[in-house]
Structure 1
Amino acid sequence: MAQCLSAIYLHLVFSTKDRRPFLKDAGVRHEMHAVLGGIAQSLDCVPLEVGGVEDHVHLLVRLPKTMTVADAIKELKRNSNVWVKEKVPVLKDFSWQGGYAAFSVSVSNIEAVRHYIQNQEEHHQKTDFKDELRALLKRHVVEWDERYVWD
């Protein structure tokens, strides 16, 4: 086959450092989601949905065939960190956690993940980030060590 073809959809999740509620202001939060979507787009990492609450974000993206998950996350975090410090001076202490979670998404499940991300505010009235991430890790059969997940 002469061409390199791929359809790699990912559900990315990462939180603010120590899950601090840096994105409590709804305007800043929605702008951050838009900025993350724009950064993803600039990386040819097609954003299908971006959302979250005051202490973490979820992105549903189509990863380009030339980029690793780690590189995509690094650029999303780095560029959004620069943006928030330039545009929202009261958040000068803002930073993302060191790690992240990335889950593969089948084409048949894209709409369900999109809906899940769109309903984050409602979802987090019932459960916190730690319980949500534990459930996602279990659902995707990912082994983890509690000592190192919550930086």
Structure 2
Amino acid sequence: MPSTHLSLHFHVVFSTKDRMPQISPEWRDRFHSYIGGLAKNAGVVPESVGGVADHVHLLLGLPATVALSDLIRAIKANSSKWVHEEIGMEKFAWQEGYGAFTVSPGNCESVANYIANQEEHHRTRGFQDEYLEFLKKAGVAYDERFLW
């Protein structure tokens, strides 16, 4: 085939170190916008960025030239730096790992809506329950001793 055609969408989730509720509502929207800008500058389509005080969700459209692990490493490093410099929260940090789940094009809109409604969703459900459900639905093997 003379051309490459891709439809690569990922729902990525990662939390603050020790799931500390450090992402304040006062600056959360600016932070999410900054994270989206980091993705865009890396050549990725930030379809949705959202979250609550202790974690973020990203729906990303990736080109073939971007490695997901490199992208997430850069987003975490640069967004932490932003919090340190712009917010003055020197102890802010992300948990080391992340979850990434493929999303079919037909489900992108529902995942984007899910991300946009994180505040409402987490009034009744915690991050750990949410994340375990993602792992189970995706059929990802895990050892709970190493999740938290």
Matches within 5 A, 1:29-68: 29-68=28-67
Q: CA RMSD in A?
A: 0.8
Q: Is the 8 A contact 1:41 1:47 kept in 2?
A: yes
State the distance in 2 between where 1:137 and 1:118 align.
Answer: 20
State the distance in 1 between where 2:71 and 2:63 align.
Answer: 9
2:36 alignment partner AA: G
Secondary structure, counterpart of 2:135 in structure 1: helix
Q: CA deviation at 1:5?
A: 2.4
Q: CA deviation at 1:3?
A: 2.3
The residue number in structure 1 matching 2:110 is 112
Per-residue CA deviation, residues 49-97 of structure 1 (Å, 9 max, x unaligned), is 00000000000010121111111111110110111111011x1100000
1:135 alignment partner AA: E
State the distance in 2 between where 1:81 and 1:64 align.
Answer: 24
Q: CA deviation at 1:4?
A: 2.5
TM-score, scaled to structure 2: 0.97
Please say which of residues 74-83 and 101-110 is displaced more in the overlay: 74-83
Q: CA deviation at 1:6?
A: 1.3
State the distance in 2 between where 1:14 and 1:146 align.
Answer: 16
The residue number in structure 1 matching 2:20 is 20
2:45 alignment partner AA: V
Q: Structure 2: which 5+ runs fail to align?
A: none
Question: After the TM superposition, which parts of structure 1 deviate over 6 Å for at least 4 consecutive aligned residues?
Answer: none
Q: Structure 1: which 5+ runs fail to align?
A: none
- Percent of counterpart pairs with the same letter? 46
The residue number in structure 2 matching 1:135 is 133
Q: CA deviation at 1:147?
A: 1.4
> How many residues in Structure 1 have an aligned counterpart in Structure 2?
148
Q: CA deviation at 1:2?
A: 2.2
State the distance in 2 between where 1:143 and 1:31 align.
Answer: 35
State the distance in 2 between where 1:129 and 1:27 align.
Answer: 21
State the distance in 2 between where 1:97 and 1:4 align.
Answer: 35
